[in-house]
Amino acid sequence: KQEVTQIPAALSVPEGENLVLNCSFTDSAIYNLQWFRQDPGKGLTSLLLIQSSQREQTSGRLNASLDKSSGRSTLYIAASQPGDSATYLCATIMTTDSWGKFQFGAGTQVVVTP
Amino acid sequence: DTGVSQDPRHKITKRGQNVTFRCDPISEHNRLYWYRQTLGQGPEFLTYFQNEAQLEKSRLLSDRFSAERPKGSFSTLEIQRTEQGDSAMYLCASSLGVTNEKLFFGSGTQLSVL
């Protein structure tokens, strides 16, 4: 069974610093890995999707890398802003599973202080 | 595109009562997913539909849970004889049904069982 772990569980940084969020998974037989953002009491918003054949994806200030062999993904957020405060979750889909059946980590709660 | 909508946003019920939640996916999306999220954890997959067909159910979905998607449009999730352990955020998501696509989540229904 795929285990997805996110460390640390919480992170606080001053505005302007770069954020580095980590995700590790135990089984490398994945279709892809996605990073989501969740605001308190709300649903999830997909940020970046990295296919298993890709090494990284970028969108604006966000960059996500994927190293399947080591079972790791990293989300970088450049020049953090208070609006980046949220919980960030990573999730994978196994090649043996139905599309949409994600295995999620518990998330990293981020606070960016002005 | 009005996004995925869920109703109600909050539901408080007494143990033993039945509850029903509704999800309206993005109109052109063929696939609809239900997830459950407890405090401090990532969402857990419950079930998904391809049009009106329910194609997979998690072991988390006990006999007290039933989901439907009549006519392949909106979906309902019913919990019979609720238990305190059912308290969670119930999230709905939808997608076109193409591999390596993003999922679009609703804001969820927060269930509290007293």
Are B21 and B77 contacting, i.e. CB atoms less than 8 angstroms apart?
yes
Interface A:B, Cβ pairs < 8 A = 66
Give CA separation, B72 vs B5, B47, B52, B94, B102, in Å: 15, 14, 4, 12, 20
A68 in the Ramachandran plot: left (φ > 0), alpha (ψ -120 to 50) or beta?
A: alpha
Reported as a single tens digit per residue, the pLDDT across A65-97 is: 999 999 999 999 999 999 999 999 999 988 777
Q: Using the 8-state DSSP alphabet, how is residue B59 labeled?
A: T
User: A45–B105: do the CB atoms touch at under 8 Å?
Assistant: yes
Gap between the Cα atoms of B90 and B106, Å rounded: 9
User: A104–B43: do the CB atoms touch at under 8 Å?
Assistant: yes
Q: What is the pLDDT along chain B (114 residues), one digit of tens a residue?
A: 579 999 999 999 999 999 999 999 999 899 999 999 999 999 999 999 999 999 889 888 889 999 999 988 999 999 999 999 999 999 999 998 777 778 899 999 999 999
Closest residue, chain B, to A6 (C-alpha): B42
Mean pLDDT over A50-58 rounds to: 93
Are A34 and A22 contacting, i.e. CB atoms less than 8 angstroms apart?
no
Gap between the Cα atoms of B93 and A60, Å rounded: 25
Reported as a single tens digit per residue, the pLDDT across A16-35 is: 999 999 999 999 898 889 99
User: B42–A106: do the CB atoms touch at under 8 Å?
Assistant: yes
